[in-house]
Structure 1
Amino acid sequence: MSKIKIMKKFNFIIQSKGGAGKSFFTYLLGIKHEQNKETLFIDVDGSTSTSTNQLKFLEDQKRIGVIDLLDSQDRIARDRLFGSIEEIAELSYSNYILDFGAPESEQLPALFSRDVNQQELKGFAEFLNSEFIFHVIIAGGTAYGACMQYLTDIVRVVGEEFKIVVWMNENTLLNYPKQVEQILEAANALGLDVERFGDVLSGSVFDTKLSTIIQQGLGKAGIMKSGYMIQTQMKKLTAEIII
């Protein structure tokens, strides 16, 4: 009797606007899944390799990898995208989290409208017995307009065939209730799920300590040494994210 293949899940963390909170979001996922041996993290940021640095605590488990999708002209090549995903899909993990850099994220709408349409991408996902989910980070303030335009572009090219989740970076939207209202209205009109993360007061003691922990690439062991408040807040931040 042949084994039933378990469906794999590919989570694409994307946003073309730099500084929107993708790396912070991925770090929180790293902490949440630190003991989950079924989850592999992939750094798809050829310019800064932020996730590789921030998720150092996963290196010993060999659960952080890197793929380079850009060709000699700094463009994402269809063959590289398909080939890389197909290669890592052969690994034993069931859950994949891919943190795309801003340059790579920016090129996805053009790639999916020029080189591969969403029906072909859907066929590829089915071939791999996998589910592709696009997680779009939305920041507030001056980043809001660019973030929302990117969301519109992603919905246009993959929204018919794939699940798209909107993640509001609460830290950046704290003083912009109107933007929060507009995000919820837009997501509702498009039929998209909306989630929240990153409820951290900018400039607070916790924010400063957390930034240091992230920059040092510390996992739960480092957090446990950072005091009760850090432990408590990190539990709250990671509990809010369900991926």
Structure 2
Amino acid sequence: MSTHADNEGRRLLSGEPLCEEGSYLQATLGGWFRLSESGAPVLLTVEHLLTPDPIRAASACLAVGGPPPRLRWQGEDAIVNRRPEGRWLCHATSGERVARVLASGVRPETGHQGPLDACIAAPVAPSLGSDEYPPLPWVPRVAEPREGSTVLKFTRRGGLRHGRILCVSESGDEVLVTSTSEQPFAVEGDSGALLIDVEARAAIGLHVGEVYMRYVKERQWAVLWRARPLPLLMKAFHLRPY
């Protein structure tokens, strides 16, 4: 396990693979932001890489020989869980601790993805943060997603992937993307990557997974990839650009 001193002087860029300590689930570091009030750096990634609370609670209880706990969801109005989690995110390749989870989107009792599917975490060393996006020679700003825009995303596992925004939901909480190449827009473990609008030179969304057999634009699509609008997440977690 790395220490604070081990991480001094290092940077952890967008696209790096992450996992929760002790978990096999993997995701991607989306980007670095700052808390609006304090200015402290935090990383943004998906919430669904975290082991669901009911499973964690039941596992902990069974480990000490007690009965399974009575589990409660926090309620529909509790969009962001700001309780201390006691959870660590690690670099999925090295296993080193890189950040401690500060807040996450609330997940329903079923364990399915919540309405935000995002979490923020504080780095073990402030020097880990960076606003760079590795394949780009410029630092992307933050903007609203636009239907029809050309987008890309980068991960260490999947490299560069290219797509086009097919639609933004009327509710403004979902972006659907189709691939513009023979490659799928994502591979396993890509969830959490930032979507970059190439024309606007802006980060516009957080990739959260795929959907199948969805009717959009009077056509049924075998597979589409979806993202949460980045401005929506920044508002929910009280973030500002790095």
If the TM-score is normalised by the length of the shorter chain, which range does it land in?
under 0.3
TM-score (norm 2): 0.24
Higher helix share: 1
More RCO (CA 8 Å, sep 6+): 1
Q: Flag the structure with higher strand content.
A: 2
